[in-house]
Structure 1
Amino acid sequence: MSSVAVAASTTAKVRNGRPSKVSSGNSRSRVGESGILPSSLIVPRCAIVDPSFPLNATLPRWFRTEAGLWSRSRSDTIEEAMNPKIVLVAPSDAHEPARTMLPSGFDLLIEAAGSPAYAAALREAEYLVGFVDMLVKESLYQAAPRLRLIQLLSAGYDRADIATARRAGVPIANNGGANAVAVAEHALLLMLAVSRRLIWQHASVSAGRWRGNATPRVHELRSRTLGIVGLGTIGKKTARLAAAFGMPVQYYDIARLSEDAEDALGVRFRLLRELLRTSDIVSLHVPLNPSTQGMLGAAELALMKPDAILVNTSRGPVVDEPALHRALSAGAIAGAGLDVFAEEPPPVDNPLFKLDNVVLSAHLAGPTFESNIARLRNAFDNVQRVARGEPPLWVIPELG
């Protein structure tokens, strides 16, 4: 007999290096003393004789010759069939880290949102993890009757249907500040790039003009007053970084800190209009919701100093974009650093693209290698909490 044959009445679908479901089937051939091959595998005899046979590298870890016998116990099969399922919806660069970081006792199903495989996976899913706030709607809860937690990899959740989520009673958690350092650093990057006219300098040098006809007027961050709008996790990280540059920091938030907390962080509370009037740089760190949409319009921008800079790493619709363009074009404010836009991706004819006092990035403040790892770590930690019967962390305020 040239191969070890097994019955193929069902097919085991392999995910995360292990089958997500294995039927007991009618296996006829035994390997070793007690193991049984899953019904979906036919293993050439040469692979058993020679462990270097290429097929060995493609088999699940529990089925390789490094273990001594090519075998799998019935208890493993039963245990895996009962493992809770995590469905991950995320960019491809998160797939391998997710497989590596997956805690034991869970099955990971990585699917593209909207695909037939995704719909099938939802039927058994207890946890949905990813950049999925746009998927939070009635159809999700109908498709995933066993869902226990929606764990976002993002900080924002502005596309989620909160009313439907509240009725469903399934908690939604954000990333727990996993990208706070990344976004805070990016905010400081934009402050520096605008203050030092970095884009102008790069264009001048690369075009062979060196300094051009005149050295531009640039500013240090030291002693420039930073006004932070929204002092959450990211806002606090930004305040600490700004303090390292010697910047006085003031803030506006709907929930004021205690005086002791303000002293510890080195910040002072200001009402929004006062903050706009007295800040040299205004940095936005608020979530997008009905109360913050259009928060900075023409009237608010008119309060800012003529040499002030606006930085937005939160959400584009927080700012009235046409009003911002008019203020920048007229010199009502000195410049802006923008990572987010009213429409994303923005149309190619967006008038902000033609201004030389603006520095732009493509909503990339949050995704760094380090923050992507931290997102997954926090997500899996929260999944394990719920599996243990503990309440999840970082539940969004509307559902808390």
Structure 2
Amino acid sequence: MRRPSSAGSSPLRSCIVTARRPLAVFILSHPWLQDMVVKAAPSDFDVQFLDGADDEAMRSILPQADFLMATQLSAKWVPFLMRCKLVQHQGVGYDGIDAGALAAAEIPLAVTPEGTTIGVAEHTILLILALSKQLVLVHESLRRGEYDQIGWRANSHFFFGKTLGIIGFGRIGRRVAHLAGSFDVRLLYYDAVRAAPAVEQAEGVQYLPFDELLPQADIVTVHVPIAPDTRGLFGAREFARMKPGALFINTSRGDTYDMDALYQALSTGELGGAGLDVFNPEPPPPDHPIRRLPNVICTPHMATGTVEAHLQKVQAQFDNFRRVLHGETPHNLVSIAPP
């Protein structure tokens, strides 16, 4: 039976790598994440864990990897992937991986939407509902010994009947629309590539250009990848165009919005609240004032972080590894032209 191991300066699990089984290397140092891999890994693979901050271990282990799972991979490590048949990203936002260097080395890159789509969409709805009902503030009040049945009602609101503006209508944006539809909300969306009419009809959504959507939405939620046209997508201009008192939700990438401009819009009452799972930089500075605003709920880039999501991800990753071994095209390949 295979014995997973970690390579690096942290406490390691021992590993015997045989010639009979392909080696899947996971750049993961957290014990819980490693446990998720161990639970889902099939017995016909050897598994080894790496700490991406340990250069010596990276130089030693990467040349042995038949498959690699990583969330961060710079160009300097690509030449070490001498046997690697596929690099698999943990989620869908692969901006931490030098895809161009992999393409130049003719090493395919795939993403893992499994688990991510459901987890992020559910987290989005969670943030909307928690802000609408002031959940964190009410909870903290009760823990202080208060019991105000009436006072909180003046600033608590239905999600029902509101207009939700979805920016980015890929896998996650569509799942958000699907879930939000159960609340009988009006669904608007913007995407650089408009969905087919059949998709719009099935999801009950209406397309609007970006600048037209912002002033109509009671809640704006962001689900775009990082690209030249999405970096800095929301700044002071865009927040000013939003409906007064609107909620801003971002579970995509921190580079998509200006955190200082958002703070100004929230602190002046221009916007009613924000639910943030992503920041720029990450983690956000401990003294950044947005952390202290009562109308902001922050989570540490963990929207997809559930037991079920991680198990689904690992299963999907090994399914892709096996597809490659069988000469089949892996699922969810990233198409990147060499530099």
Question: Which AA in structure 2 matches 1:144?
Answer: L
Partner Cα separation in structure 2 for residue 185 and residue 343 of structure 1? 24
Partner Cα separation in structure 1 for residue 263 and residue 38 of structure 2? 45
User: How far does the alpha carbon of each residue in 1:81-130 deviate from its partner, in whole angstroms, 9 at most, with x for none?
Assistant: 1422111122321323323432343221122224334432211211101x
Instruction: Indicate conservation of the 8 Å contact 1:298/1:323, yes or no.
Output: yes
1:20 aligns with 2:16: yes
Q: Which residue of 2 aligns with 1:349?
A: 287
- Aligned counterpart for 1:265 among listed residues 180, 203, 213: 203
Structure with larger Rg = 1
1:122 aligns with 2:59: no
1:224 aligns with 2:162: yes
Question: Which AA in structure 1 matches 2:22?
Answer: P
1:376 aligns with 2:314: yes
Q: CA deviation at 1:201?
A: 1.1
1:94 aligns with 2:90: no
Question: Which AA in structure 2 matches 1:389?
Answer: G
Change (3 A) 1:190 1:124: same
Q: Which residue of 2 aligns with 1:289?
A: 227
Question: Where in structure 2 are the equivalents of 1:166-181 lying within 5 Å?
Answer: 166-181=103-118
Q: CA deviation at 1:275?
A: 1.1
1:147 aligns with 2:147: no
Partner of 1:398, secondary structure, is: coil
Question: Which AA in structure 2 matches 1:384?
Answer: R
Partner Cα separation in structure 2 for residue 114 and residue 333 of structure 1? 40
Instruction: Indicate conservation of the 8 Å contact 1:204/1:212, yes or no.
Output: no
Count of aligned pairs: 327
Partner of 2:67, secondary structure, is: strand
Instruction: Indicate conservation of the 8 Å contact 1:176/1:393, yes or no.
Output: no
Q: CA deviation at 1:212?
A: 8.6
Q: Which runs of 5+ in 2 are unaligned?
A: 6-12
Partner of 2:193, secondary structure, is: coil
Q: Which residue of 2 aligns with 1:77?
A: none
Question: Where in structure 2 are the equivalents of 1:188-267 lying within 5 Å?
Answer: 188-211=125-148, 214-215=151-152, 216-267=154-205
Partner of 1:81, secondary structure, is: coil
Q: Which residue of 1 aligns with 2:10?
A: none
Question: Which AA in structure 1 matches 2:96?
Answer: R
Partner Cα separation in structure 1 for residue 101 and residue 81 of structure 2? 14
Instruction: Indicate conservation of the 8 Å contact 2:100/2:337, yes or no.
Output: no
Q: CA deviation at 1:211?
A: 2.1
Partner Cα separation in structure 1 for residue 187 and residue 150 of structure 2? 36
Partner of 2:274, secondary structure, is: strand
- Aligned counterpart for 1:103 among listed residues 33, 42, 45: 42
Instruction: Indicate conservation of the 8 Å contact 1:177/1:233, yes or no.
Output: no
Instruction: Indicate conservation of the 8 Å contact 2:130/2:136, yes or no.
Output: yes
Change (3 A) 1:19 1:198: closer
Change (3 A) 1:399 1:108: farther
Instruction: Indicate conservation of the 8 Å contact 1:171/1:399, yes or no.
Output: no
Task: Name the stretch that deviates more: 328-337 or 99-108.
Answer: 99-108
Partner Cα separation in structure 1 for residue 150 and residue 204 of structure 2? 42
Q: CA deviation at 1:387?
A: 1.0
Question: Which AA in structure 1 matches 2:104?
Answer: R
Partner Cα separation in structure 2 for residue 336 and residue 297 of structure 1? 14
Question: Which AA in structure 2 matches 1:128?
Answer: L
Partner Cα separation in structure 2 for residue 399 and residue 393 of structure 1? 18
Q: Which residue of 1 aligns with 2:124?
A: 187
Instruction: Indicate conservation of the 8 Å contact 2:4/2:38, yes or no.
Output: no
What is the percentage of aligned positions where both structures have the same residue? 35
Question: Which AA in structure 2 matches 1:97?
Answer: M
Q: CA deviation at 1:290?
A: 2.2
Instruction: Indicate conservation of the 8 Å contact 2:15/2:48, yes or no.
Output: no
1:277 aligns with 2:215: yes
- Aligned counterpart for 1:112 among listed residues 51, 56, 59: 51
Change (3 A) 1:82 1:18: farther
Q: Which runs of 5+ in 1 are unaligned?
A: 1-12, 22-79
Task: Name the stretch that deviates more: 204-213 or 308-317.
Answer: 204-213
Question: Where in structure 2 are the equivalents of 1:27-66 lying within 5 Å?
Answer: none
Partner Cα separation in structure 1 for residue 23 and residue 309 of structure 2? 24
Q: TM-score, normalised by structure 2?
A: 0.90
Q: Which residue of 1 aligns with 2:327?
A: 389
Partner of 2:165, secondary structure, is: strand
Partner of 2:66, secondary structure, is: strand
Q: TM-score, normalised by structure 1?
A: 0.77
Instruction: Indicate conservation of the 8 Å contact 2:86/2:107, yes or no.
Output: yes
Q: Which residue of 2 aligns with 1:5?
A: none
Partner Cα separation in structure 2 for residue 262 and residue 14 of structure 1? 48
Q: CA deviation at 1:352?
A: 0.4
Partner Cα separation in structure 1 for residue 16 and residue 221 of structure 2? 46
Q: Which has the higher contact order (CA 8 A, sep 6+)?
A: 2
Q: CA deviation at 1:250?
A: 1.2
RMSD: 2.1
Partner of 2:151, secondary structure, is: coil
User: How far does the alpha carbon of each residue in 1:24-65 deviate from its partner, in whole angstroms, 9 at most, with x for none?
Assistant: xxxxxxxxxxxxxxxxxxxxxxxxxxxxxxxxxxxxxxxxxx
Q: Which residue of 1 aligns with 2:260?
A: 322
Q: CA deviation at 1:14?
A: 5.5
Instruction: Indicate conservation of the 8 Å contact 1:178/1:378, yes or no.
Output: no
Change (3 A) 1:100 1:205: closer
